Chains A and B, each alone.
Chain A
Amino acid sequence: MSPTTKNPRNQYLRTDRMPHIWCPGCGLGTTINCFITAVEECGLPLDLISVVSGIGCTGRIAGYLKLDSFHTTHGRPIPFATGLKLANPKLKVVVFSGDGDLCAIGGNHFIHAARRNMDLTIICVNNFTYGMTGGQVTPTTPMEAVSSTTPYGNIEEPFNLPFLADCSGAVYVARWTTFHVRQAAKAMREAIQKNGFSFVEIISPCPTLYGRRNKLGDGLKMMQAFKDNSVVCNDADTRSVALDFRGKIACGKFVDREKTSFLDMYNTKMAERFGPFYEPYEGVK
């Protein structure tokens, strides 16, 4: 056997764009790695996978994956993905979004896409901070945590994203940390294979900004904390999985249910209305 000189994962990456811009210890590389595993295990043709991202550190994922990839505007990857999916439903459309992108500026799109059960997979890399702009508070920053815009500690109650996704109508909701690479990859695969709005939250370290300010140590130390503090509780009531500062991290698959997706609902309704002459909508011709 001849020694392999090329990383087999290179085929999924835009290697001509390396080195990437992320900091040492950042969880985004791990997230990409899990995603590639999920894609490999799905066996989907790569040409039919589109990745859409918003703005921020997580937003840069689209640019490093060698797939059809769209780096859109801040907070808007979900509506872009909605248009893309509806124009060509054969595509598997995956949205990568950070906590600020997804649930602050993009919060409205998130709940509405979940409500209408748009067939999209949302992977939220939650590192509790705005990394690209220098570590400001986000809607998921735990109470007490220090950020550059909450120098005396955060006083706002954060979003519990699995609960938000669940009560907005998502058909699949899971949370893992970047420590749980196998579980995270499996969750991403299940989410991708789900017909409807699926949501995976990845708790990820930002040692440069969030970790340092909150004295959580470097990337390695933060990973150790993920390992020590996480509790696997599959099927937990999503109301019970909120995160505290330095507290336990509830991980697992919380929601996995069947519901008719937007497009299936659309075709059923139109067939009902227009009768046998209705040609089911399968994308623009």
Chain B
Amino acid sequence: MKADPKGVLTGAHFLDGDHACCEGALAAGCRFAAGYPITPSTEVVERIAARFPSVGGIFIQMEDELASSIALQGAVWGGAKAMTVTSGPGFSLMMEHIGYAAMVETPCVFVDVQRSGPSTGLPTLPAQADMMQARWGSHGDYEVIALCPNSPQECFDLTIKAFNLAEVYRVPVMMMMDECVGHMTEKVVIPKASEIHVEPRRYTTAKPEDYLPFKAEKNSAPPMVRAGDGYRFHVTGLTHDERGYPVTNAEVQDRCVRRLVDKIRANARQIIMLEESDTSDADIVVVSYGITSRVAVKAIQQAREDGYKVGHLRLVTAWPFPEKRLRTLASHVKAFIMPELNLGQMYFEMQRCVEGRAATYLLPHAGGSVHDPELIYQKIAYAARHMRVKEGKEKEAAK
């Protein structure tokens, strides 16, 4: 399906990431948003509040993030495409409903413009420290999708992508922005509506008497239904069977939760978006995401100019994590470096996948700014030195 031209601001604009995210949502067909003001995400909802009424949508500022994160799900079950927007402290409050969305399979988008924490932290400065929270923040077993834009243009593009993925897999999709990307203003090109792919909601075609709201094909999400269409269905956050009825036993729990997890794990290849450069001949690969992936390129370019065999793997999708690709790369790459605006989060995920077959280096940053590219360069040089020393020792031993 193509985008509804009503919501598409075709043209070249000079927009910040927050505003671009709002335009992406509109282009994706989002017509309901609930939010609560929080720096540095407020500009998203401010633009939504101004833009939605004239395109047939509605925005409501709720009393808190708990309310926002469930109001949006009410709207989805009422037939809307919906999102909410927040930052760290609000994201913490939303965890309850990320779990609910995962459990009842509400297709929806959560935008987290990350700032430094813990707690109130640095409200006006960037971090990438909610990455594990996005994946594991709600209790229980579940899977989500998380995307990491590194420019205002991508805040637009990936928001559309987030809505589309939410529809296909019926999961909460997180837009893991950060203060830097959210507040940075750059050129954003919005294509014609006819050039934007929008995933329509897949509604059931079954008759109400035959319809099982939570019956799905293997490794996929069931078709949706909405209130008012005569299906008289039931939705519960309790462990439920295919009818949507609560069942309290281990067997149904296994079936219910395993499907929630499998629909993402089994489709990881289709979901994961990566950007890769110079990895085929690389001894060293810098793995990065979000704003850090831009800064890292500056260091990588310099390092390559200086003769280091270094490549770049950028995670556009942070969750699901590209386990397979990392395993494959680990068969020839000798060292992986991960700079991130936290003191070690995705790094450990990378380390897990490398399985000790290559050296791994974390380049932590507590947030409040972005990495100095020079530090990333130095880490590349350090990794290269260690690699040579190690190779030297191995040669010695072989003799």
Contacts and interface: CB of A to CB of B under 8 A. Distances in A.
Complex: A in contact with B (CB within 8 Å): yes
Interface of A: 14, 16-17, 46-48, 50, 52, 62-63, 66-73, 75-76, 78-88, 90-91, 108-109, 112, 266, 270, 273-274, 278-279, 281, 283-285
B234 A63 contact: yes
B236 interface: yes
B79 A283 contact: yes
Contacts of A47: 228-230, 232
A218 B136 CA distance: 45
A84 B234 contact: no
Interface string B199-231: 000000000000000000000000000111111
A82 B74 contact: yes
Contact of A83 (B57, B74, B246): B74
Given A46-B232, A73-B96, A270-B53, A83 B66 contact: no
B78 A88 contact: yes
B53 A83 contact: no
B232 A67 contact: yes
B308 interface: no
A91 B96 contact: no
Contacts of B32: 83, 86-87, 284
B233 A68 contact: yes
Contact of A274 (B54, B64, B74, B100): B54
Interface string B226-270: 111111111111100001011000000000000000000000000
Interface string B53-89: 1101110101110111011111111111110000000
7 contacts: A16-B245, A79-B34, A80-B70, A83-B72, A84-B75, A87-B78, A278-B54
A281 B56 contact: yes
A87 B229 CA distance: 13
A284 B232 CA distance: 20
A86 B75 contact: yes
A45 to B, nearest CB: 9
Given A68-B231, A86-B75, A108-B67, 14 more contacts: A16-B243, A47-B230, A68-B233, A69-B232, A70-B234, A71-B236, A73-B237, A79-B62, A81-B74, A82-B34, A84-B77, A84-B227, A266-B53, A281-B53
A70 B235 contact: yes
B100 A72 contact: yes
